Structure 1
Amino acid sequence: MAQEVRHNQEDSRYEILVDGTVAGFCEYCEDEGAGRRDFNHTVVHDGFQGQGLSKPLIKAALDDTREAGLGVVPTCSAVDGFIKKNPEYQDLVA
């Protein structure tokens, strides 16, 4: 099972692909003036749930956001929970 996370800037979301199929996504709204992304919705599609895909998806999204020099507003409960369980990401919270 090959996994890949890609940034789909056109749709303002990060997508996780399993064997080339989009298995889920983490959407955001970018507030360019404030320099932050509001992660507001995370989905793992039926048929892919229970495979532990949300963690690598959210991790990649946050790592890329950090690299871009942006902060995070964790409106999505999955993103908020990930940040609370992984204190190394708490400095991103705007």
Structure 2
Amino acid sequence: MSTENTEYTEPQVREDPELKLTDNQEKNRVELWNGQTFIGFVAVERRNDGAVELQHTIIDERFSRQGYARTLITLVLDSCRASGTLIHPTCTYVQDYLKRFPQYAGLVA
């Protein structure tokens, strides 16, 4: 008899109280800010079925390789989970993220 391991590694995110998401609908993206400093974004397309396509993730090069992309995607996926919004992950970073953190796989439309 096999047992399924349902314990997942939680993504490590930056723990900064100044970090916040901004839904910039004018530019079709969700942005990550640290206070007044722009960090990066994930481009989104809102679909007619209510799902959101996550198209590509961009982090300002001043902040690259510091965990901001993971933090951005974790916060976006947590927000989608909380609102019941499904995703279409066309961004390769998000696709890789979902493989590493399968606890978010249920969000895929």
Classify the secondary structure of the residue corresponding to 2:26.
helix
1:59 Cα shift?
0.8
The separation in 2 between residues aligned to 1:67 and 1:10, in whole angstroms, is 23
TM-score of the superposed pair, with normalisation by structure 2: 0.76
The separation in 1 between residues aligned to 2:28 and 2:75, in whole angstroms, is 14
| Correspondence 1:15 to 2:31 | yes
| Correspondence 1:64 to 2:79 | yes
| Correspondence 1:29 to 2:45 | yes
The separation in 2 between residues aligned to 1:8 and 1:61, in whole angstroms, is 13
| Correspondence 1:93 to 2:103 | no
Between stretches 79-88 and 2-11, larger displacement belongs to 2-11
Classify the secondary structure of the residue corresponding to 1:51.
coil
Aligned-residue sequence identity (percent) comes to 32
Partner of 1:52: 67
Structure 1 residues not aligned, in runs of 5+: none
TM-score of the superposed pair, with normalisation by structure 1: 0.87
CA spacing shift, 1:90–1:78, aligned 2, 3 Å: same
1:22 Cα shift?
0.9
Structure 2 residues not aligned, in runs of 5+: 1-15
Q: Which runs of 4+ in 1 moved over 3 A?
A: none
1:27-60 superposed Cα distances (whole Å, 9 cap, x missing partner): 110113x221110010001111111100110011
Higher strand fraction (1 or 2): 1
Decide which structure has the larger Cα Rg and report it.
2
1:48-76 superposed Cα distances (whole Å, 9 cap, x missing partner): 11111001100111111222222111100
